[in-house]
Structure 1
């Protein structure tokens, strides 16, 4: 069996001053992980400021470096990461892309594009920049923590509905595939066909919980109306697991809620922890 790595990376600085994504990650750890073995990435809880057009720049770079060092040491074939913010995916995605020499498609399930650069970002919040960094654009020290660069053709945006003009322009210019919530709700097979058109059986799932409809799941930092139904996401994950090699998965942007367990969170954690059963 290939080596699997579970990473607990509660990096919160990408979302601004509040530490709610840190608290959300800790809540997931307490409520859902049980005895599952995870490697922790230490994160600073000190207050931050903007530097190089990125809020929390110095701790973010240090923390990404810690994650990079762990992955280099472990050399896993599959990775499940719990954040924290969307920006925790820079190391896992770029590592698997490097390991597979580009033979992987990244599904970015997110209400937002995460395609800003430090210069184009209005908020300077780093959780709005990781996909652009994975595509090779951004701060030099941040980019140096990545193992490789994705091609736009390797990315499929799923469920986005709150994009800035600069992001829309980038998507159009680079012909990045998008499937709207209505596309997915009407026919999950559209996602399957979009992946097959990329020519790789290997996929990485970035799951920002704000892809879900806040009427069903409001426990996120930046809720956006009219998202995916939780049941639709659950069905989609089942189909993807059956038809493709899911080699990486992340669960990000959770905000602490009541102590009653969420079925969709449990499903995602169980799926991520079971990636060790994947053979490739």
Structure 2
């Protein structure tokens, strides 16, 4: 892959957490660790935003952030890595990768949640929880991807917390799923990617994919997650196997300076794994 460009998108309006603004603190910390020469800061509205008469909470601000990210992506001639916000920030990155690579794109979905809620059934109305649904071409007309992917392009890694509505939607769809209990997680995921015949890779990472015992700077910790070693091993193998078309690291939400100091090195370790296929 080419050397990456980092898009800092400190969006919090897509989150359903009462502590969503902690994402802006996480983004500010990551800004200091990213190379200035390869950093693009995407303007995100300060205000919460309005649902615009839809079931999607804060939709107006989510759309502004999405459109600003799309414009930034259009100006980049390098591999884009989106960091610093909620999971809805990953949607324009998936769109761009799908537009460039079509059905040759594989999406590695490293997330405790599938984020496959529909606006009409979502308990929270949070755009973050609908990210994959919109990437698959279903959901709110305002957010549906113009370049939808198919279920067969998606591989769940560490996904383990499904709402009943998501289970119903995903039932029978050809999404492979691998968890922390897989005896050889890296081999299983690499076999899936090879069998899919993909030519390029998009890696979506919500940090809640990690086990809470190893990483706690998230809003919705879910037990029985991946170890840091499992996650980074899978990511390094994946980006060595396929050229990286883009990626996102989402939901770094430190609760206080001590929590940030404990967890920020892990975020940087994950980021290093994601960019380990970069050209020198």
With normalisation by structure 1, the TM-score equals 0.89
Match of 2:260 among 245, 249, 258: 258
Aligned 8 A contact 1:77 1:96 in 2: no
- 1:155 and 2:154 matched: yes
Query: Which consecutive unaligned segments of at least 5 residues does structure 2 have?
Result: none
Q: 1:275 to 1:67 in 2, by over 3 A?
A: farther
- CA distance, structure 2, for counterparts of residue 55 and residue 274 of structure 1: 36
* Counterpart residue number, 2:82: 81
- CA distance, structure 1, for counterparts of residue 191 and residue 47 of structure 2: 45
Q: Deviations over 1:55-108 (max 9, x none)?
A: 11101111111111222233x352111030111111111111111122110010
* Counterpart residue number, 1:106: 107
Number of residue pairs aligned between Structure 1 and Structure 2: 273
Kindly report which structure 2 residues correspond to 1:1-280, keeping only aligned pairs within 5 A, or say none. Answer: 4-16=4-16, 17=18, 18-30=20-32, 32-51=33-52, 52-74=54-76, 76-143=77-144, 146-183=145-182, 186-256=184-254, 257-260=259-262, 262-272=264-274, 277=279
Q: 1:272 to 1:71 in 2, by over 3 A?
A: same
Aligned 8 A contact 2:50 2:58 in 1: yes
Cα drift, residue 3 of structure 1: 7.6
Query: Which consecutive unaligned segments of at least 5 residues does structure 1 have?
Result: none
With normalisation by structure 2, the TM-score equals 0.89
Cα drift, residue 252 of structure 1: 0.4
- CA distance, structure 1, for counterparts of residue 232 and residue 93 of structure 2: 23
- CA distance, structure 1, for counterparts of residue 103 and residue 253 of structure 2: 33
Cα drift, residue 171 of structure 1: 1.5
**What's the C-alpha RMSD, in Å, of the aligned pairs?**
2.1
Q: 1:263 to 1:47 in 2, by over 3 A?
A: closer
